[in-house]
Amino acid sequence: MKLIVLDRDGVINHDSDAFIKSPAEWRPITGSLNAIARLNQAGFHVIVATNQSGIGRGFFDMTTLNAIHDKMHKALAQAGGRIDAVYFCPHAAADNCHCRKPKPGMLEDIAHRLNTPMAAVPVVGDGLRDLQAAAAVGAQPVLVLTGNGKKTQRDGGLPPGTRVFADLAAAVDALAE
């Protein structure tokens, strides 16, 4: 199975230090939706794995998160793309759960549910947490320089073998070959 895992905020859509708390605040990064459509055309199953601690902190609820994801799915459909599943961690950092990246719980759950090893699966993110979770399950960490990516690269400490691209479209150009 050709599989790729994407973080949401900073990879697919613009991020906000104040959280994406409503569908109106969800805005795709230029080229990201077409990049996902190209992944689909190349035979990839596209999964999103995203920390959404805004739920645990009370900034928004599940109904709002579902509405945000509904907007994302509809925008993708208009671009000819789809996301096969969205996994999210609703917990705040203080909850110390196993699913919140950088811990590997979400990625382990994806591997279990899809009955596929994560070895060498590209996991695309803009933060060190995304890359650390990927490395913890033997996946291929991929950093995009959108969202917090430039700061993440500047701060260093990237897992060995991390591939770096300007944005999701550039990553797809290389990964979908």
Q: CA–CA separation, 87 vs 79, rounded Å? A: 22
Q: Residues 22-43: pLDDT tens digits?
A: 999 999 999 999 999 999 999 9
Cα 128 from Cα 158, distance rounded (Å): 7
| Residue 59 pLDDT exceeds 90 | yes
- Tell me, what's the pLDDT at 136? 97
Whichever domain contains 38, its CATH number is 3.40.50.1000
Residue 122's beta-bridge partner residues?
140
pTM over 0.75: yes
Could you read off the pLDDT of 77-118 as tens digits, one per residue?
Answer: 999 999 999 999 999 989 999 999 999 999 999 999 999 999
As for how many domains the chain has, the answer is: 1
C-alpha dist (Å) from residue 91 to 54, 59, 95, 97: 8, 12, 6, 7
Residues of the domain holding 34: 3-175
Contact between residue 134 and residue 123 where contact means Cβ atoms under 8 Å apart: yes
Residue 177 confidence (pLDDT): 72
Describe the crossing of helices 32-41 and 168-175 by its angle, rounded to 10 degrees: 20
How does pLDDT run across 114-138, given as a tens digit for each residue?
A: 999 999 899 999 999 999 999 999 9
Per-residue pLDDT tens digits for 161-175: 999 999 999 999 999
Q: Which residues carry out catalysis?
A: 7, 9
Residues 99, 106 contacting (CB under 8 angstroms): yes
Q: What is the pLDDT of residue 176?
A: 81
